[in-house]
Amino acid sequence: MTIAYLVNQYPKVSHSFIRREIAGVEACGIPVARFSIRSCGSELVDEIDKLELEKTRIVLGIGKVGLLFTLIRVAITRPIRFLMALWLMLQVGWRSERGILRHFAYLAEACVLLLWFQESEIAHVHVHFGTNSTTVAMLCRVLGGPPYSFTVHGPEEFDKAQAIALTEKINRSAFVVAVSSFGKSQLYRWCDHEQWSKIHVVHCGVDQLFLTQPHIPIPNEPRFVCVGRLSEQKGHLLLVEAASRLAAEGQSFKLVFVGDGPLRSQIETLIAQKGLQNHIEITGWASNPEVQQQILASRVLVLPSFAEGLPVVIMEALALERPVISTYVAGIPELVEPGTCGWLVPPGSVEALTTAMRTALLLPVEKLEQMGQIGSHRVAEHHDAAIEASKLAALFPSNIEKTQKQVSDIPSNLPMPASTSVGVTDA
């Protein structure tokens, strides 16, 4: 039994948790074949990710001509199933933000994967993120491909549930995974009660690189670290504002942003405007060992996100015995207990964020050490990547057997409009 993992972009700097999960599934004796829609190999900095890239087949790597040729081949050899998949594609594409043409591309990608899955004798496909990669897996299933399951992280899937046909994807799947209880509750919102039994919680996790790290004392240096993509939803701009207020008070501290992204230039401009060059540093993307060292060099991890699933970097920081300042968002309160292993503030509140950071600066190191140790125990208990992967691995055999007895062409619940548009509204 070989399982395929399908991700829109894999490997990717911010997707180390997927790599850990795959390693855990393989450790359970299940072979895993890696597939990605597109490559971001030029961005990789971690040697382990570069090795993963060598094991991964990239769908768009065959080019537009290859996609078109494969689509025609499948249409000729499987006309009935192709028409079924085409009909579903039109239904889903019509209601999406990305339009029919983009979904026609997804159908072509599904045709490529159909042939690749047959070559590799794939018994089941597991997808990360319920967006376009799951659309491709669903279309591949209708074409006669293997059953699929998918992990939903949020917040994008919940923000655009109707646009991405989340209900349809749940209905047609073998099972669905949420990374937190909050995520599970949101999935419940978008499917009938009869589907609830197929929704499971499997946490993302950290591996032995973090879980078995020897104790390194929290430094006396007043240093914060924020790890993540530089984007609006991570709250970096508010963090700069909070840092500005602390600096105006005369507080001595250093704040390190580890990551990169579309908001970098705006953040750099704000840092310059507020004269915080001596307080804030941006490192760019970093490898796993570099991220670990940045966390260990800090007193506290700060992540003031507006929208999240359950950030893996919070698990990493707590595993390394560093307290966390974050927000009351999604699954974060399931891991970070205020006053015990960190602080939680209302998202969007500069005042509360400033207060939490000031408290962390003034708190004795001994108290921070105690909070970090509690956090480490919580991660070891609930977010060990190997243990969580074994839970997922246990779902594959029974669901494969069950779905093999079912017909894959489940009637669609999506209404078909009287006319269709072929415009792409979101590139």
| CATH number of the domain where residue 308 is located | 3.40.50.2000
One domain for residues 223 and 76? no
One domain for residues 376 and 302? yes
pLDDT > 50? residue 421: no
Please report whether residue 418 resides in a domain.
no
pLDDT > 60? residue 427: no
One domain for residues 234 and 193? no
pLDDT band at residue 288 under the 50/70/90 scheme? confident
- The domain in which residue 334 lies consists of 208-382
Q: Per residue in 319-369, pLDDT tens? A: 999 999 999 999 999 999 999 999 999 999 999 999 999 999 999 999 999
pLDDT winner (highest mean) among 153-157, 384-388, 396-400: 384-388
Q: Per residue in 198-232, pLDDT tens? A: 999 999 999 998 999 899 999 999 999 999 999 99
Domain count, the chain: 2
Please report whether residue 323 resides in a domain.
yes
Cα dist from 362 to 108, 224, 359, 367, whole Å: 58, 13, 5, 10
Residue 404 is predicted with a pLDDT of 61
pLDDT band at residue 53 under the 50/70/90 scheme? very high
Do the Cβ atoms of 100 and 93 come closer than 8 Å? yes
One domain for residues 78 and 188? yes
Please report whether residue 419 resides in a domain.
no
Bridge partners of 319, per DSSP, are none
Please report whether residue 423 resides in a domain.
no
Q: Per residue in 250-274, pLDDT tens? A: 999 999 999 999 999 999 999 999 9
Please report whether residue 268 resides in a domain.
yes
Buried-state track 50-71, b at ≥16 Cβ within 10 A, e below 16: eebbeebbbbbebeeeebeebb
pLDDT band at residue 289 under the 50/70/90 scheme? confident
Please report whether residue 136 resides in a domain.
yes
pLDDT (mean) for 80-97: 95
Task: Give 310-376 as a 3 state SS string.
Answer: CCHHHHHHHHCCCCEEEECCCCHHHCCCECCCEEEECCCCHHHHHHHHHHHHHCCHHHHHHHHHHHH
pLDDT band at residue 413 under the 50/70/90 scheme? low
pLDDT > 60? residue 139: yes
- Residues 82 and 59: their CA atoms lie apart, in Å, by 19
Q: Per residue in 387-400, pLDDT tens? A: 999 999 999 987 77
One domain for residues 180 and 305? no
One domain for residues 365 and 261? yes
One domain for residues 371 and 388? no
One domain for residues 120 and 251? no
One domain for residues 73 and 136? yes
Do the Cβ atoms of 341 and 383 come closer than 8 Å? no
| Amino acid occupying residue 412 | S
Please report whether residue 415 resides in a domain.
no
One domain for residues 56 and 119? yes
Please report whether residue 308 resides in a domain.
yes
Is 0.75 surpassed by the pTM of this model? yes
Nearest to 141 by CA among 154, 156, 126: 126
Return the minimum-mean-pLDDT range out of 164-168, 266-270, 418-422.
418-422
Count CA atoms closer than 13 A to 426's CA, side-chain side: 11
Rg (CA), the chain: 23
Residue 416 is predicted with a pLDDT of 45
- Residues 10 and 36: their CA atoms lie apart, in Å, by 5
One domain for residues 193 and 238? no
pLDDT (mean) for 402-406: 63
Q: Which two tokens stand for residue 94?
A: 């019509």
One domain for residues 221 and 165? no
Q: Which two tokens stand for residue 412?
A: 């669609």
Q: Compare 64 and 289 and report the one with higher pLDDT.
A: 64
Do the Cβ atoms of 222 and 360 come closer than 8 Å? no
- Residues 390 and 26: their CA atoms lie apart, in Å, by 9
